[in-house]
Chain A
């Protein structure tokens, strides 16, 4: 076994590599399971809100429903329209899914824990010192999945959905970015782990220091994940299914997975940045569980909003962003900057 520790590859030992691969696979497995059960969670909760029952046939309380759905999607025919750009059409869902998965890399679910007989287990994948920038960058890559998917389908509805998606995500990324700058200014950290540690040290969740930033982030995350009321890219009553009209089978499933994955990721980011992350419960719960509770709360918010609020129109959405959210974000930044300087000195 000693060769594992002696052979080096790019400056790491093979044991290090193995550890990271297993860690990443573990994260992906948990996330995909989470995605599957988020779909069930959404369907059950929204049915309760809408005096329906929701899926309750497959297994007790419908717990096998996601598996049935997955199996069904997997065996469906994967059609590519004749007018489509074949390569891009096949590639686009993968980009979406990749971006959704990769974004989670910098989200810390917990601290490093010492497990007897094994060693230390860290509950984050990467502790980038520019984690916040990485998140925004990956989010922008995710847009390619939507735009390319819509454009390459050779369908007019898809094209309209893709165009809306591009416009929407550009506006709301600015909002998202601005809400993060306030957090970065207060903590002086750009790594998500660092921000969580700062909150744990000061025993205060940032939502109390950055309430406006929190609201902006929540609005931005609805837009970023294309969820109602910002689900224009797939506005089902106007554009059939928007950018993924022409997708079927597992490629359609990949889009669905990336949407739910993105929901989980932004929920986890929001928990880390504003609710204290794993340092958050301040003694009530073990850290990682607090993150899980936070994620579930945000997912519930996603579902609740979807059941209640109508879809915005594309120009209203843009106006909302440019004439309300971005000025609000700027004011918030200015106030935060002044306060940080005053309180520091």
Chain B
């Protein structure tokens, strides 16, 4: 493609505002572009259009109430956000999470990853004009959301993973439905790959586009599929396992290309790995029984049956429902691998019933910084592919 020159000659740049209302910017992202003909000379992302002060809001809420806010930050990865927040709060308490809850958390986090990657692959294809794959991906995403709805009563903002465990147990019917989905998913992934992966038009549009080298990615704090597509096998589930990921078998998918096509390949590979993890988790759930809430009464309320017989339980119950949980003063940060990269909540406690400060380290925000580097010298048409390959969620960026 280098044999075609796009130099306009006079060097006069045209300023174009792409977004915040633009069909392909994945939410209210605004890009200030300087164009030379169709070449991007500079690309300055302007964010903040979805800023709703979520971190500040959390300071007004109890630790349990705050879970509902984390759902809404990255709306494609609600359960993953619940998980990251819960892990940090649990670190403050130092409480033990029962095994069944841990397996359930892995299962739900991976279902959420499937959900998120499906949207990413689908919207990435529609941005390049393959409309059908988008709808096929959303068809399967709908099944994931139906599973969430069946289990939690909510399709997206379920707040099902909470500090101390899960909201309630997963019953057998649900596991059967989840099993059916996990079994059919590999066939659907083949379907998407059949249309997209070897499509010469798609390859032409993505190979070599939006290059990001490993050292640049690390320097910019980029993580997730973007970093792995640059050849760095960094996956927190492997390098810093949490909530029992060490007992699951999966590969860290990497690609050496560091371009949009590599990122697409990494996401598809991760879809397959996630399906494998879900499969293992469902098998484990059949064997592992027990509670899904921690026995630590400072975190989770006692079961209703104890209230009539135990004075201590009654006090715990009363304290939890009037003041909420009160972690010891201190701070905790426990990052997880969200579909977009490293996601962590720094939770600062002053010993009261409400967090003194919650700071979210969101992957979309860090990844978006790389857009300027990736898009310089590329064409406007490629910018669409690049944004799609970053897969930013504006709720995650602006918070």
The answer on A and B forming one complex is: yes
A residues in contact (CB < 8 Å) with B: 46, 49-52, 156-157, 160, 228-229, 231-232, 235-240, 306-316, 318-319
Could you tell me which residues of chain B, from 150 to 207, have a CB within 8 Å of some CB in chain A?
Answer: 195, 199, 201-202, 204-205
Contacts A52-B135, A228-B129 given: A156-B14 contact, CB under 8 Å?
yes
Complex partner residue of B16 from A156, A307, A309, CB under 8 angstroms: A156
B202 touches A314 (CB 8 A): no
In the assembled complex, the Cα of A235 lies from the Cα of B136 at a distance in Å of 22
Name the A residues within 8 Å of B283 (CB-CB): none
In the assembled complex, the Cα of A318 lies from the Cα of B199 at a distance in Å of 19
Complex partner residue of B129 from A50, A51, A156, A229, CB under 8 angstroms: A229
Contacts A310-B205, A313-B205 given: A237-B1 contact, CB under 8 Å?
no
Name the B residues within 8 Å of A46 (CB-CB): 131
A319 touches B4 (CB 8 A): yes
Name the B residues within 8 Å of A315 (CB-CB): 1, 4, 6, 379
Interface residues of A: mostly helix, strand, loop or mixed?
Answer: loop
Shortest beta-carbon distance, B350 to chain A, in Å? 48
B384 touches A238 (CB 8 A): yes
In the assembled complex, the Cα of A313 lies from the Cα of B381 at a distance in Å of 6
Contacts A237-B127, A240-B22, A240-B23 given: A308-B381 contact, CB under 8 Å?
no
Say yes or no for B143: interface residue by CB 8 A criterion: no
B16, B129, B199: residue with the most chain A Cβ atoms closer than 10 Å: B129
B379 touches A310 (CB 8 A): no
Task: Mark B1-22 against chain A: 1 for CB-CB distance below 8 A, else 0.
Answer: 1011010000000101000001
In the assembled complex, the Cα of A167 lies from the Cα of B3 at a distance in Å of 17
Name the B residues within 8 Å of A232 (CB-CB): 381
In the assembled complex, the Cα of A308 lies from the Cα of B132 at a distance in Å of 6
In the assembled complex, the Cα of A191 lies from the Cα of B22 at a distance in Å of 47
Name the A residues within 8 Å of B14 (CB-CB): 156
In the assembled complex, the Cα of A309 lies from the Cα of B131 at a distance in Å of 8
Shortest beta-carbon distance, A319 to chain B, in Å? 6
In the assembled complex, the Cα of A229 lies from the Cα of B129 at a distance in Å of 8
A51, A237, A306: residue with the most chain B Cβ atoms closer than 10 Å: A237
Task: Mark B355-399 against chain A: 1 for CB-CB distance below 8 A, else 0.
Answer: 000000000000000000000000111111000000000000000
Contacts A310-B129, A314-B381 given: A51-B139 contact, CB under 8 Å?
yes
Say yes or no for B145: interface residue by CB 8 A criterion: no
Name the B residues within 8 Å of A236 (CB-CB): 23-24
In the assembled complex, the Cα of A314 lies from the Cα of B205 at a distance in Å of 11
Interchain residue pairs with CB less than 8 A apart (6): A51-B136, A157-B16, A310-B201, A312-B201, A314-B38, A314-B379
Name the B residues within 8 Å of A318 (CB-CB): 4
Q: Which residue of B lies closest to A323 (CB)?
A: B3
In the assembled complex, the Cα of A46 lies from the Cα of B130 at a distance in Å of 12
A237 touches B38 (CB 8 A): no
Interface residues on B, range: 20 to 34
In the assembled complex, the Cα of A316 lies from the Cα of B23 at a distance in Å of 23
Interface residues of B: mostly helix, strand, loop or mixed?
Answer: helix
Q: Which 6 A-B pairs have the closest CB atoms?
A: A311-B129, A237-B24, A310-B128, A50-B135, A315-B4, A310-B129
B201 touches A309 (CB 8 A): yes
Name the A residues within 8 Å of B132 (CB-CB): 49-50, 307-308
In the assembled complex, the Cα of A235 lies from the Cα of B18 at a distance in Å of 14
A309 touches B130 (CB 8 A): yes
Shortest beta-carbon distance, A164 to chain B, in Å? 8
Q: Which residue of B lies closest to A312 (CB)?
A: B201
Shortest beta-carbon distance, B289 to chain A, in Å? 39
Say yes or no for B126: interface residue by CB 8 A criterion: yes
Complex partner residue of A313 from B24, B126, B127, B382, CB under 8 angstroms: B382
Say yes or no for B254: interface residue by CB 8 A criterion: no
Q: Which residue of A lies closest to B3 (CB)?
A: A319
A319 touches B1 (CB 8 A): yes
Say yes or no for B86: interface residue by CB 8 A criterion: no
In the assembled complex, the Cα of A223 lies from the Cα of B290 at a distance in Å of 64
Name the A residues within 8 Å of B127 (CB-CB): 237
Name the B residues within 8 Å of A240 (CB-CB): 22-23
B130 touches A310 (CB 8 A): yes
A313 touches B129 (CB 8 A): no
Shortest beta-carbon distance, B7 to chain A, in Å? 13
Name the B residues within 8 Å of A156 (CB-CB): 14, 16
Name the B residues within 8 Å of A229 (CB-CB): 129, 201
In the assembled complex, the Cα of A225 lies from the Cα of B145 at a distance in Å of 40
Task: Mark B210-245 against chain A: 1 for CB-CB distance below 8 A, else 0.
Answer: 000000000000000000000000000000000000
Instruction: A307-B132, A313-B382, A315-B6 are known; give 13 further A-B pairs, CB within 8 A.
Output: A50-B131, A51-B135, A228-B129, A235-B129, A237-B24, A237-B127, A238-B380, A239-B380, A309-B199, A311-B201, A313-B381, A315-B379, A316-B204
Say yes or no for B120: interface residue by CB 8 A criterion: no
A238 touches B125 (CB 8 A): no
Q: Which residue of B lies closest to A320 (CB)?
A: B204
In the assembled complex, the Cα of A306 lies from the Cα of B139 at a distance in Å of 19
A160 touches B130 (CB 8 A): no
A237 touches B199 (CB 8 A): no
B128 touches A311 (CB 8 A): yes
Name the A residues within 8 Å of B24 (CB-CB): 236-238
In the assembled complex, the Cα of A319 lies from the Cα of B4 at a distance in Å of 8
Task: Mark B73-92 against chain A: 1 for CB-CB distance below 8 A, else 0.
Answer: 00000000000000000000
B199 touches A310 (CB 8 A): yes
In the assembled complex, the Cα of A316 lies from the Cα of B125 at a distance in Å of 18
B380 touches A237 (CB 8 A): no
In the assembled complex, the Cα of A50 lies from the Cα of B195 at a distance in Å of 13
Shortest beta-carbon distance, B112 to chain A, in Å? 23
Task: Mark B83-110 against chain A: 1 for CB-CB distance below 8 A, else 0.
Answer: 0000000000000000000000000000
B129 touches A231 (CB 8 A): yes
Name the A residues within 8 Å of B379 (CB-CB): 313-315
Name the A residues within 8 Å of B23 (CB-CB): 236-237, 240
Could you tell me which residues of chain B, from 113 to 147, have a CB within 8 Å of some CB in chain A?
Answer: 125-132, 135-136, 139
In the assembled complex, the Cα of A236 lies from the Cα of B129 at a distance in Å of 9
Could you tell me which residues of chain B, from 28 to 65, have a CB within 8 Å of some CB in chain A?
Answer: 38
Shortest beta-carbon distance, A159 to chain B, in Å? 9
Contacts A236-B23, A314-B379 given: A309-B135 contact, CB under 8 Å?
no
Name the B residues within 8 Å of A237 (CB-CB): 23-24, 126-129, 384
In the assembled complex, the Cα of A315 lies from the Cα of B382 at a distance in Å of 11
Name the A residues within 8 Å of B205 (CB-CB): 310-313, 316
Q: Which residue of A lies closest to B33 (CB)?
A: A156
In the assembled complex, the Cα of A60 lies from the Cα of B130 at a distance in Å of 29
Q: Which residue of A lies closest to B25 (CB)?
A: A237
Name the A residues within 8 Å of B16 (CB-CB): 156-157
Shortest beta-carbon distance, A209 to chain B, in Å? 29
Name the B residues within 8 Å of A316 (CB-CB): 1, 204-205
In the assembled complex, the Cα of A306 lies from the Cα of B201 at a distance in Å of 12
